[in-house]
Chain A
Amino acid sequence: MKIAVMQFPGTNCEFETLVAVKAVDMEGEIFRWNRSAGELSDFDGFVIPGGFSYQDRIRAGVIASKEPVMSALKEEADKGKPILGICNGFQILVESGLLPGRSISCDKESEKGSNMGVGSGSNKASSNVDMALAQNVMISKGKIVRRGYYCDWVNLRHESPSKRCSGSFAIERGALLKIPIAHGEGNLVTTTPGLIKKLNDDQQVIFRYCDKNGRIINEFPFNVNGSTESIAAICNEQGNVLGMMPHPERAFFAWQLPAFDPRKQRADEAGPGRRVFESMKRYIEVNA
């Protein structure tokens, strides 16, 4: 079982992500963006780790999404192989149209975004992009109380049943995970009509931000970035591609938890983020 941890210029979480991959007994290696894309087919799964690919220029993830290696990754996704995009990885998956996935964009093809110009029609690479991860806005009682980059530990509620999605394959519905976020653009927005409803109906919403008891409160500090319906992670329709803003690799060991978490003192214990990597492994085992 071999995992490629993708590396773009500016990626900065590939090493700890590789540690997490290996710690659940999968093989893994870092795959540099300018390696021959054909080599990707040798791998059983992929992680696009966090960081600032191309320094988030224009907007997070968009330039990496134009790299040839991403087209190859789409083909691997079509084969049903699992892809986990974390933070910037999620942003890249959104910008390359892998999330929420193509099936919706087909439905939408007839519609035009209100601002889409005449264009040539033949070359609308962004027309399969169905959502955006926009700049964070922290809203409380109707007012913007903060904006921009934010790093903190958040509580996540697992929204889908287990086995729905590769990266939460072994996690039961309703499970609470404490995992850190660190991003400036994680605010899920969309103008695609019906997209949010479809994501909900098809159980493609995998994690939502919540309070420590699992209640969804659509306000800062619980909703940390203004994301629609407190969505923190979604998968594609098939369930093999998962994108999440929080960083499971940074909550892999109990000692990484914040000071006030009682589990911290039990240093040998697994942290909540480990379950995401275990899920990916289980998904590959089941689908092999």
Chain B
Amino acid sequence: MSPNRKINLRVWLKIPDAEAATVKNTLVRRLGYKNILADVKKERLFSIEIDSGDPEELAKSFAKELVNENKESYKALIDELLFEDEYVPVKVALHIEDGEAISVRERLRSRLGFGNVVDVKKATIWKLYFDTLRPEAEVAAREIAERLLINPHKDSYEILSRPII
């Protein structure tokens, strides 16, 4: 029996992301990151675990359901999660039961008939662009996560700095 595979769908808006703009505005005007923060962008991340099937093909099918290409673009990564170098990616996910992830799983399984879907996890990736060098940027990113991006009673975060398997 082959081991389960994981399909990571990175999804981002092609249209202006007002939420990211508000986050940037708050960090710059209210929380004092004016001098080091250059920009904020956001992605949604779906991590879908499957126990069979061709991951490349399934990624396309899942994207058809989860991504609206009229407003969004996506990238599918199989068994890996890579990010570009120019920002610090902060992954925020619920550590309490995620009703939306469960409903995505159920929709893929029952409504769309993908019985090979074992699990779905969902997260937000905040892409923080800094005018400062990496080690300092990561410290600031942690601070930003704790001060604004998460409420530790429901969310957890991770700084994703190198390829995550």
Chain A positions near chain B (C-beta within 8 angstroms): 54-55, 57-59, 62-63, 66-68, 95, 113-120, 123-127, 129-132, 134-137, 144, 147-148, 189-192
Contacts and interface: CB of A to CB of B under 8 A. Distances in A.
A119 B22 CA distance: 23
Interface stretch (B62-70, B80-88, B151-159): B151-159
Interface stretch (B48-56, B94-102, B110-118): B94-102
A118 B147 contact: no
Interface of B: 18-19, 22-23, 26, 30-31, 94-97, 99-100, 102-103, 139, 142-143, 145-157, 159
B41 to A, nearest CB: 14
Nearest to B103: A147
A66 B157 CA distance: 20
A135 B23 CA distance: 20
A147 B100 contact: yes
B159 A117 contact: yes
B143 A120 contact: yes
B30 A129 contact: no
Contact of B151 (A126, A137, A144, A147): A126
Contacts, number: 100
B18 A55 contact: yes
Contacts of B18: 55, 57
B110 to A, nearest CB: 13
Nearest to B98: A135
Contacts of B96: 134, 189
Nearest to B147: A125
Contact of B94 (A63, A124, A126, A134): A134
B152 A113 contact: yes
A197 to B, nearest CB: 16
Pairs of residues from A and B, 5 with the lowest C-beta to C-beta distance, nearest first: A115-B156, A132-B153, A147-B99, A113-B152, A132-B151
A192 B151 CA distance: 12
Contacts of A134: 94, 96, 151, 153-154
B99 A137 contact: yes
Given A124-B146, A134-B154, 10 more contacts: A57-B18, A115-B95, A115-B152, A117-B142, A117-B145, A127-B146, A129-B152, A134-B94, A135-B99, A137-B97
